[in-house]
Amino acid sequence: MAIDRYCVMGNPVAHSRSPWIHARFADLTGQVMQYGKRLVPLDGFASSVHAFAAEGGRGCNITVPFKFDAAAMADRVSARAALAGAANVLSFEGGLILGDNTDGAGLVMDLQRNAGFDLRGREVLLIGAGGAAAGVLGPLLQEHPARITLANRTLARASELVTRHRDLAAQMDVELLGRSLQDLQGNFDLLINATSASLNEAGVPVAGSTLKRGALAYDMMYGAPAQGFLTWAAEHGAHARDGLGMLVGQAAEAFRIWRGVLPPEQQVLDELRQLVQEAS
Query: Does residue 128 interact with ligand ATR by CB under 6 A?
Result: yes
> 93: helix, coil or strand?
strand
Q: Which of 5, 144, 147, 153 binds ligand ATR (CB under 6 A)?
A: 153
Output the smallest distance, CB 77 to ligand ATR, in A: 17
How far apart are the C-alpha atoms of 262 and 184, rounded to whole Å?
Answer: 40
Q: Is the peptide bond before 12 cis (omega within 30 degrees of 0)?
A: yes
- Of the candidate spans 70-78, 89-97, 153-161, 239-247, the one that interacts with ligand ATR by CB under 6 A turns out to be 153-161
Compute how many other C-beta atoms are within 10 angstroms of the C-beta atom of residue 227: 16
Query: Does residue 152 interact with ligand ATR by CB under 6 A?
Result: yes
Query: Does residue 64 interact with ligand ATR by CB under 6 A?
Result: yes
Which residues are known catalytic residues? 67
Compare residues 149 and 152 and give the one whose CB is closer to ligand ATR: 152
Q: Which of 124, 126, 132, 221 binds ligand ATR (CB under 6 A)?
A: 132
**Cα 261 from chain centre:** 20
Compare residues 151 and 216 and give the one whose CB is closer to ligand ATR: 151
Our separate counts of H helices and E strands in the chain read: 11, 12
- Of the candidate spans 93-101, 104-112, 150-158, 169-177, the one that interacts with ligand ATR by CB under 6 A turns out to be 150-158
How far apart are the C-alpha atoms of 133 and 140, rounded to whole Å?
Answer: 10
Query: Does residue 131 interact with ligand ATR by CB under 6 A?
Result: yes
Query: Does residue 197 interact with ligand ATR by CB under 6 A?
Result: yes
Total residues binding ligand ATR (CB under 6 A): 18
How far apart are the C-alpha atoms of 216 and 207, rounded to whole Å?
Answer: 15
How far apart are the C-alpha atoms of 96 and 83, rounded to whole Å?
Answer: 20
Compare residues 154 and 266 and give the one whose CB is closer to ligand ATR: 154
Query: Does residue 157 interact with ligand ATR by CB under 6 A?
Result: yes
How far apart are the C-alpha atoms of 70 and 254, rounded to whole Å?
Answer: 15
Cβ–Cβ under 8 Å, residues 254 and 247: no
How far apart are the C-alpha atoms of 19 and 121, rounded to whole Å?
Answer: 37
- Of the candidate spans 74-82, 165-173, 188-196, 223-231, the one that interacts with ligand ATR by CB under 6 A turns out to be 188-196
How far apart are the C-alpha atoms of 215 and 240, rounded to whole Å?
Answer: 9
Binding stretches for ligand ATR (CB under 6 A): 64, 128-132, 152-154, 157, 181, 194-197, 200, 202, 205
